Amino acid sequence: MTVISYNQSMKVFSSILILELIAIIITGITLLCIFSPRWRRWLWLLFLSNIPMSILGLFQSFNKSIGRSWLIDGIEIILWSVSIFFLIRLAYRSARKYNIIPPFSWKFFRWGRTILGAFLLIGSQITLSALWQNFVIHNSSNTTTSNQASLNSLALMVPFVIYFLTTVLAGFFEELAFRVGIFEILLPKHKKWAFTVSVILFASVHAPTNIISALIYGTMAIILTSFYFKYRNFYLNMSIHMLLNFVVSGLFFLSNILHLF
C-alpha cells in the first residue's frame, strides 16, 4: 500500500487553490454586474466563504518559499485572527441585513440535535472510509480523498492553530452560503429544489475524485441539508458542522502527535 506523496498533495492543493481564486475573482466580477438582489446577496456570501481557506493557501505558499519560524508563525496568527474576526463579523452582519438568520441566541443551539447530527456525519464518514480502505486503496495509490490530502498537507505548512480554527469555522461560512443562502435567498419558495441545489453544490466544491469520495461528501451534504430542511435553524446546522470539523481536525492532530512517539 502506497501513501499519496507530499508533492502529489501539493499539486492537488495548488490546483484547488487556483480554482478557488478563479471562483473568487469571478464572484467579485459578477457582483459588479447587474444581477437581481437575490443573486447578488448569495454570491456575496459565497465569496466570503472562500476567503478563509484562500488566506491559508497564501500562508502556505509564503512559508514554502521562505521557510517557517516562530516569528513568522506569530505574525501569521495575528494576521489571521484579525482577518477572521472581520470576516465573521461581516458575514453575520450581511446575513442579519438580509434578514435570513435571527439574532444570535443560545436558545437556537439544540445540543441533543447537534450531537445527533454530528454522530450521523461521523458514523457515515467512518463507514464510507472503511469502504475506501477495502475497495479503493487496494487498487489505487491514494489513501484518502484529494480534498483531505490537500488539507493534510496544508496543516503541515501553516501554524496548526490557524488550520484547526479555520477548519472548524468553515462550518459557519459554509452553512451560510450553502444552506441558508440557497434556502432563504435563492429558492425560498422551492424547498425541494433548494435541497437538491444545496447538496450538489456543497459536494462539488469539496472536489470528489471518484465514486467513494463523491459518496463521502454527498452523504455529508445530504445530512446537513436534511437538518436545515427540517428545522430551518442556521445555528443548529452551524454547530453540527463545526462539531464534525472539530472532531476530524482533532483526530488528525492526535494522529500526528502519536507518530512522534
Buried b (16+ CB within 10 A) or exposed e, 250-259: eebeeeeeee
Predicted structure pTM score: 0.82
Rounded to whole angstroms, what are the CA distances from 49 to 5, 63, 111? 29, 23, 25
Q: Could you report the per-residue pLDDT of 123-182, keeping only the tens digit for each?
A: 998 888 777 777 655 555 555 566 666 666 777 788 889 999 999 999 999 999 999 999
C-alpha cell at 145: 480523498
Map residue 217 onto helix, strand or coil.
helix
| Cβ count within 10 A of residue 121 | 22
Mean pLDDT of the chain: 84
Q: Could you report the per-residue pLDDT of 59-114, keeping only the tens digit for each?
A: 888 888 888 889 999 999 999 999 999 999 999 999 999 999 999 999 999 999 99
**Domain extents for the chain?**
6-258
Rounded CA-CA distance 120/104 in Å is 25
Phi, psi dihedral angles at 101 (to 5 degrees)? -135, 150
Q: Which amino acid is it at 78?
A: I
